[in-house]
Amino acid sequence: MFKGTFTALVTPFNQGRFDVARYAQQIGFQARHKVTGIVAVGTTGESPTLSHQEHHLVIETAVRVGHKAGLKVIAGTGSNSTAEAVDLSRHAQRAGADAVLLVNPYYNKPTQEGLYRHFKAVARAVTIPVVLYNIPGRTNVTMTVPTMVRLARDCPNITTVKDATGNLDLTTEAVAAGMTVLSGDDSLTLPMMAVGAVGVVSVASNIVPGEVRKLVEAALAGNFTRARQIHKRIFNLCRALFVETNPIPIKTAMALLERDSGEMRLPLCEASHANCAVVRQALAQIGLL
């Protein structure tokens, strides 16, 4: 189920509150461009500043609207507290999510044994698939391939990893070990697919879902000439969307395109004037402004 393009949706706010209507519009935009699915309440969705009640509402909205539109829904339910991750994952399953996405526990820096026990506990608390999320830039810990393989061996619902390590050696090793790998970095989707990844959890597809989908489809079909053409076309945009901490640039871009209010919650704040100009220029370069 994890082959293809999954959009890591932003969480829209209106005067500080989750904007359900805008979120539904954004999901509809994804469906019209025929992505495979959406990820609700990931890093891009500002998960750290949502209350549990809001977290539940965002996931419930994603499932209700996304499934009606024919999209698969992956719910971000990770935490640095195993008990909290279990609770959020059980809610996502009850809400009807197709899978949960679990980031490596952050700040407390568990060992590989701690990572194994954490993910095993969550995987055994639910029956839906669990997608591991390896992003050392956010968590300061990297899950090794042997730990992934151990989890996949002991937990039938763990087969997939979202790889945002920026390390093609790790990607290659994970694929060789039998893991399903999704790119967690838009600018690296093409090279990661060249070594065996089968799709992407994309930030850029919030605004160019059709382009990202076509890149992934071309790469899956072995047409790397076509995939490379699309990669070159959107590369500067992908880089611009990380000129500051995600999701600041993508929310800036969506506000410029009048598809989001651009509101964020502290401690995130608006982009600098210089970086707003970088985002604007990248949008103009591909004809969106």
By the 8 A CB rule, do 45 and 23 touch?
A: no
Is 68 in the active site? no
Tokens of 219: 């790469």
Find the catalytic residue in 72, 162, 214, 251.
162
Tokens of 16: 């500080």
Tokens of 51: 């209350």
State the Cα–Cα distance between residues 60 and 40, nearest whole angstrom: 9
State the Cα–Cα distance between residues 200 and 269, nearest whole angstrom: 27
Find the catalytic residue in 23, 116, 133, 214.
133
| CB-CB neighbours of 46 under 10 Å | 22
Tokens of 235: 């590369």
199 Ramachandran zone, left/alpha/beta (phi>0; psi -120 to 50): left
State the Cα–Cα distance between residues 143 and 103, nearest whole angstrom: 10
Is 109 in the active site? no
User: Which positions are catalytic?
Assistant: 133, 162
